[in-house]
Amino acid sequence: MQSKKYTKKISEIAVEYALERLYEPEDIEERCVSRPDISRPGLPLTGFYQDFEAERVQIFGNMEHSYLESLSPEQRYASLDEFFSHDVSMVVATCEGEIFPEMIELAEKHKTPLYATEKGTSNFTAALIAGLNVSLAERITTHGVFVEVYGEGVLIVGESGVGKSETAIELVKRGHRLIADDAVELKRVSDKTLVGSAPELIKHYVELRGIGIIDVRRIFGMGAVKATEKVDLCIQFEQWDPEKQYERFGLETQYTDILGIRIPSITIPVKPGRNLAVIIEIAAMNNRQKKMGYNTAEEFNKKLMELHEQK
């Protein structure tokens, strides 16, 4: 697994959020945003720049507009000149009032992309942060299969040839959905959420040894595939080892750490005659049941203890 930093083009943000272009430098296609968080530059406009992070998207809302409106033209120009001189990545005005001509003039002077939107500050900020969290999320690509089973995102990992892709096809035939085969791109979109998807090149494709590459979407229909899903459970396939003691009761929940997020995980031994698709269905339903507050293993253990006490 290998992680790296990602960026998003400012021009793509402008198109995605239908921003009005007030000024764009000639090299706008080379300008990128690398941080998912934003900044409201109220304090910097007053002259306080300690810990100011220019690489964030800067949002000018009604509060910033009102402050600048309270200044004299000379003070407003000086405040904005100082602000734009800090090489900020991008400025979006969400205020209801008209854009100050000085903002456009100084954006051109300092080659700073400047946009406006009619959306309210809170709504636009929430949408932008959510979008950037996905676009700029820390991510890795891992070998495995990712399927949605009864609404649960199930990541299946294991050595090549152990039966991951065949199991995925069986699950699709049983009405579940394929997200990725062979390579799964995992993104940490928040401190608690990991989502998985397929690299664009192999999206909807599955490799079956002896047959080759098949297009799941064309063979089984659009309802058999999904673009992305939250990772709820990790299942490790391994060849059956008669000397190994496998979990029998499930009292202790095992976890796999992926990008700093703990994902519930189980190990399933593989040998001829085991219906892996059915086992995964049960595992997905059991995991969902645990999230809803019911743990079958704990309830069974409780009954055993009560029976033992009665004796």
Q: Tell me whether residue 176 is one of the annotated catalytic residues.
A: no
Q: Which residues pair with 239 in a beta bridge?
A: 270
Q: Which of 8, 31, 164, 177 is labelled catalytic?
A: 164
Assigned token pair, 11: 């021009």
Q: Which of 176, 182, 204, 226 is labelled catalytic?
A: 182
Task: Give the angle subtended at the CA of 78 by the CAs of 75 and 83, to the nearest 5°.
Answer: 125
Q: Tell me whether residue 76 is one of the annotated catalytic residues.
A: no
Residues in the chain: 311
What is the three-state SS of the chain? CCCECCCEEHHHHHHHCCCEEEECCCCHHHCEECCCCEECCHHHHCCCCCCCCCCCEEEECHHHHHHHHHCCHHHHHHHHHHHHCCCCCEEEECCCCCCCHHHHHHHHHCCCCEEECCCCHHHHHHHHHHHHHHHCCEEEEEEEEEEEECCEEEEEEECCCCCHHHHHHHHHHCCCEEEEEEEEEEEECCCCCEEEECCHHHCCEEEECCCEEEEHHHHHCHHHECCEEECCEEEEEEECCCCCCCCCCCCCCEEEEECCEEEEEEEEEECCCCCHHHHHHHHHHHHHHHHCCCCHHHHHHHHHHHHHHHC
For the chain, report the end-to-end CA distance as a whole number of angstroms. Answer: 53
Q: Which of 5, 192, 248, 311 is labelled catalytic?
A: 248
Q: Which of 143, 173, 174, 218 is labelled catalytic?
A: 143
Q: Which residues contact residue 242 at a Cβ distance below 8 angstroms, ignoring those fewer than 6 apart?
A: none
> What gap in Å lies between CA 9 and CA 11, rounded to an integer?
5
Q: Which residues are identified as catalytic?
A: 143, 164, 182, 248
